[in-house]
Structure 1
Amino acid sequence: MTTTTDYSVPSGESPHECAYCGHPFRKEEYLVLHRGLEHGDELPEDEVEAFYDAYETETEELKHFRLKALGVLVLLYFGFLFIYAIIGVS
């Protein structure tokens, strides 16, 4: 299965290209994650370790984002609940 996807990198930035398939990436972290997910069987040991490090970092960032998003939703819920309790009862 081959896909023809148009990849664009903003002008003025140098892309990080995958040595295996040639796809450009804006950040080197994206390239490391791509290599580990798409070309994991072909990678040498040092690149596999770099992938696992980048994957752990990405996972931690996602956990923090989810906690922050949950906190915002809880604050919004109780904020609207208190506003409704004050205004709705009057």
Structure 2
Amino acid sequence: MTQSDHAYDVPADAPVFECDYCGRPFARERWLALHHGLDHPNELDDDEVTAFRKAHEDEEDSLGAFRLQALGALVAIYFVLLMIYALV
């Protein structure tokens, strides 16, 4: 099944950012910019390349923050369980 075979059920009142190349809808403009850079890199103009790079940097920053938060949560859980084990 190719990407064009998928059906997208978009609510009528939802804002939609549609890909000019394949017609795929996105809920956020940043997601559309990422899609352009990942799925249609050869068709992009300079503005779209700039938008993709900005969206990619923002996504990397968000993922880095999430990784730190997840690591902190795992360390906290480990020490809580270690203390419970030590007391029991």
TM-score by length of 1: 0.89
Q: In the alignment, is the contact (CA less than 8 A) between 1:16 and 1:31 conserved in 2?
A: yes
Alignment of 1:22 onto 2:19: no
Q: In the alignment, is the contact (CA less than 8 A) between 1:9 and 1:26 conserved in 2?
A: no
1:11-90, aligned counterparts within 5 Å?
11-87=12-88
Alpha-carbon RMSD: 1.4
Q: Distance in 1 between matches of 2:71 and 2:11?
A: 33
**Identity over aligned pairs, percent:** 51
Post-superposition Cα deviations, 1:19-78, rounded to whole Å, max 9, x if no partner, equal: 111000111111010011111111101110110010000001000000100000000001
Secondary structure at the aligned position of 1:60 is classed as: helix
Residues paired across the two proteins, number: 87
Secondary structure at the aligned position of 2:33 is classed as: helix
Q: Distance in 2 between matches of 1:13 and 1:77?
A: 42
Q: Distance in 1 between matches of 2:11 and 2:79?
A: 42
TM-score by length of 2: 0.91
Q: In the alignment, is the contact (CA less than 8 A) between 1:9 and 1:25 conserved in 2?
A: no
